[in-house]
Amino acid sequence: MSALHLIRHGAVAELRLDNPAKLNAFTVEMLEALDNHCAELERDGAVRAVVISAEKSRAFCAGADITAWSELEPWDFARHWVRDGHRVFDRLARLSRPTIAAIAGHAFGGGLEFAATADIRIMAPDATLALPEAGVGIVPGWSGTQRLIRLLGEPLVKEMALMGRRLSAERALASGFVAELSDDPRTAAMAMAESLTDKSPRSIEVAKYMIHAAAGEDRGAMIETLGAGMISPTDDRDEGVTAFREKRKPDFSGK
């Protein structure tokens, strides 16, 4: 059984890390579970918001389980571990539902990259963020030098990735990476998620697409998704499909 669970609380879904013995570090099985959960969430129209959390531990997530990748051949490490993790985290970041991360503990390496996929982050005052990869002879691989640049900015990411410095909750809040601090981030995140359930789900979805397109998060797909949403309700679209099925020339009205 994977140590990453999908739990439903009515219209709010929760993605919960559950590997406390290893400080909630990611394994191959957890990445596969996250991929499957994202696919399930996209198909479930009853879900209006998603909370990303972790079982109580000193760490929200310590990153990638070193025993899961250290024995891999170099190209397998690059082609599979890094690319698969990047692909799965991208899928979570581009989920059509709003996501809120509850960071109750340190988020290091892949754990920070996991939190960065969320739309909104709430953090415990005593938690810290870090990119410690240089200390074990590797580099960030799941968007630490890409998505985090957009969210934290180049100077802070360089400070963390090159020097190994930890980012405090206060600095994370001041940078805008974290929306608020809370002694109980999960409860605060659940309350925020519940507040989203009385908003228009279509308005939230389209607003997220527009913001992602502006920020460069999968811009091409976001623009084409919005275009498809505009063209799908038109009479011309219906006429084109009908004409194709009836093997005749379409008579477009422009409506």
Which residues are paired to 107 by β-bridges? 61, 129
Encode 121-149: b = buried (16+ Cβ within 10 Å), e = exposed: bbbbeebbbbbbbeeeebebbbbbbebbe
* Distant-in-sequence, close-in-space partners of 155: CB < 8 Å, separation ≥ 6: none
Q: Which candidate, 195, 202, 225, 230, places its Cα nearest to that of 213?
A: 225
Report the catalytic residues.
113, 133
Q: Cβ(239)–Cβ(252) under 8 Å? A: yes
Which residues are paired to 121 by β-bridges? 101
Question: What is the DSSP code string of 117-167?
Answer: TSSEEEE-TT-EEE--GGGGT----SSTTTHHHHHH-HHHHHHHHHH-PPE
Q: Cβ(253)–Cβ(235) under 8 Å? A: yes
